[in-house]
Every structure is written in C-alpha cells, then in structure tokens.
Amino acid sequence: MARLRCSDYGYECDFVSEGEMEEVIKQFGKHTEEEHGIDYSKEALMQFILRQKD
C-alpha cells in the first residue's frame, strides 16, 4: 500500500492519495498538476513513495 499527502511536500492542503502504487501516482500527479500547478513525473512520484519506506 502506498500513500502520498500534499502536506508532506510543503502544501497547505489536506489531499491524501492511498492505495496501490500506480493508482496513487496517477491520483497524486493529477491533483498536484490541477490544484498546485506542479507536474511531477511518474518517476519522481515513485521516488517519493519509495523514500517513505526507508
């Protein structure tokens, strides 16, 4: 299970995406692009998730 929260990356935002890695990457990427104007690559989002597990 993967989870990304906007608040973990400096945004004053309550958005959380949780679930399978591919779905989390898709949801979080769409949210950050539409709401915050940031277009993270799939690879960058995957690194965010992998770093949480260290």
Global confidence as pTM: 0.88
Nearest in space to 10 (alpha carbons), one of 46, 30, 38, 44:
38
pLDDT at 26 over 80: yes
Residue 24 DSSP one-character state = H
pLDDT at 14: 97
Residues 12/22, Cβ–Cβ less than 8 Å: no
Residues 45/4, Cβ–Cβ less than 8 Å: yes
* C-beta neighbour count of 24 within 10 angstroms: 21
Q: Model confidence at 52, in pLDDT bands (50, 70, 90)?
A: confident
Mean pLDDT of 18-37: 96
> What sign does the CA torsion over 25, 26, 32, 33 have?
positive
